[in-house]
Amino acid sequence: MSVREEVGGTPLPEGWSAPAHQPDAFELGTTTFGERAHRTMARPFARIAIAGATDHAVALTQAKFANVDHDALRDQGRQIRAHAIANLPDYLEQWIDRAEANGTTVHFAADEAEARRIIAGICTDERIESVVKSKSMASEEVSLNSALEGAGVAVFETDLGEFVVQAMGDRPGHVIAPILHRTKDEVHELFSAMAGRDLPNEAEALTAFARAGLRHAFLTADAGISGGNFLIAETGEVLLVTNEGNGRLTTSAPRVHIALVGIEKVIPRRGDLAVLLPLLTGHGTGQQITTYVTITGGPRRDAEPDGPERTHVVLLDAGRSALLGGPFEEALHCIRCGACQNVCPVYRQVGGHAYGWVYGGPIGAVLTPLFRGQEEGGEVAQATTLCGACDDICPVRIPLHDLLLDLRRQRADTGHVPRAERLAFALWGAVWSRPVLYRASMAVNRTVLGLVGHDGAVSARLPGLRRWTEGRDLLVQRRRT
């Protein structure tokens, strides 16, 4: 029995409609990190929810790897990813040969605009009027939804969190958990407005409302669009992990399947999944394995009840190949598990939107300047404490801390640091690198702060230090430590 026969006949719930188109909401280059962070921090719920959810995710990850040699597994993961990226052209070629032999049409998009053009072109050629999408960060990178909607194609995000984000005109706040920053009450309000009646404010009822409408969308869509967690070179297959089953329906129910996948997602062999899958799912959701692991290998064969009639894979470069062989190549090892976001003390306060583009947290602070350039994205590499927690948890041992430092250096070397900041650090470096001047500056500091402080601390707001002293005391240095 085919998927359509098994789940078919689901009527569209009364009042259920496609989410209205919302404009793209990237703010990189139009607002500062500070302004965006301030907005999240002004929402007390968001701060509590983000910290709570990320704590929970870290605890699950720790429990998952408690009884295995985690470091050895991470070493193996690093080796596989390093080998794949060091030989990327060869493995990509192998993957393309195998995928085409399987009947997949392979496209190559050099940048975001070309990816949008290719996918919109496929939709025109295939007479596609509606698509269902499973979660894809690559499609966020290229702002695919608005491009398709502009071409007259109705788009339904089918991951529940992504569906909420789409209907709210929002952006995902986390690689794995897109609505980490939203409340159940907000979802209740949204779905009730879509339904035209007050729905029960319970998770099960709200999920059932979305599910009924999305089920109808799956069965009537002309195409399914997905991302891909891995491209397996030896077989020409695309692997997708999901927990809601939407990835499997997206890739098997509609007559056309289109996958948009970054070129760096290639791995040599199926056997590599024995290492990479537990690392991805263990660091993403703390699971042994996700509920669904879908491997697609081309269009439906004769006598198969399910599967698309045609499959297209769009390989996205968009800045990736420029990193090969350079000092930032290791950023391409990333398997998008989101673990570095969960442990980052900055992300845990400000959430994903503060980073202004697709990716938040340490990996966002690395990828944003690399993919968007120093001019537009360089600022977010400053938004880290360099504590190294991200290095300690990364399943493929990407040295995020070193990459962030190098990006900061590059920002200074290419003249993207404001003049006042450059002067201040030049002066600070000149003074503190000379012991006599260092001691003199400490004495002046101690004397001035001693005059305005009480009990060894200044708690009043100080001109020039207002943003520091309004939230915490400034300690007066003691004469002897």
Nearer to ligand SF4, 315 or 398 (CB): 398
* Residues that contact ligand SF4, how many (by CB under 6 A): 15
CA distance 265 to 397: 16
The Cα-based distances of 422 to 431, 437, 467 in angstroms read: 14, 20, 20
Nearer to ligand SF4, 123 or 390 (CB): 390
Beta bridge partners of 458: 474
Q: Which of residues 275-334 bind ligand SF4 (CB under 6 A)?
A: 283, 334
Least separation in angstroms between residue 29's CB and ligand SF4 is 24
Closest CA to 369 of 396, 342, 398, 408: 408
Nearer to ligand SF4, 242 or 281 (CB): 281
Nearer to ligand SF4, 120 or 394 (CB): 394
Nearer to ligand SF4, 147 or 400 (CB): 400
CA dihedral (402, 406, 408, 409) positive or negative: positive
Closest CA to 16 of 208, 145, 223: 208
Return the range that interacts with ligand SF4 (CB under 6 A); candidates 14-22, 54-62, 208-216, 387-395: 387-395
Nearer to ligand SF4, 377 or 395 (CB): 395
Return the range that interacts with ligand SF4 (CB under 6 A); candidates 135-143, 194-202, 393-401, 446-454: 393-401
CA distance 122 to 115: 11
Residue 370 interacts with ligand SF4 (CB under 6 A): yes or no? no
Residue 395 interacts with ligand SF4 (CB under 6 A): yes or no? yes
Phi, psi angle pair for 156, to nearest 5°: -120, 115
CA distance 300 to 45: 47
Least separation in angstroms between residue 366's CB and ligand SF4 is 7
Residue 176 interacts with ligand SF4 (CB under 6 A): yes or no? no
Q: Which of 214, 396, 403, 417 binds ligand SF4 (CB under 6 A)?
A: 396
Return the range that interacts with ligand SF4 (CB under 6 A); candidates 202-210, 395-403, 408-416, 417-425: 395-403
Binding mask 323-352 for ligand SF4 (x = CB under 6 A): -----------xxxxxxx------------
Binding site for ligand SF4 (CB under 6 A): 283, 334-340, 363, 393-396, 398, 400
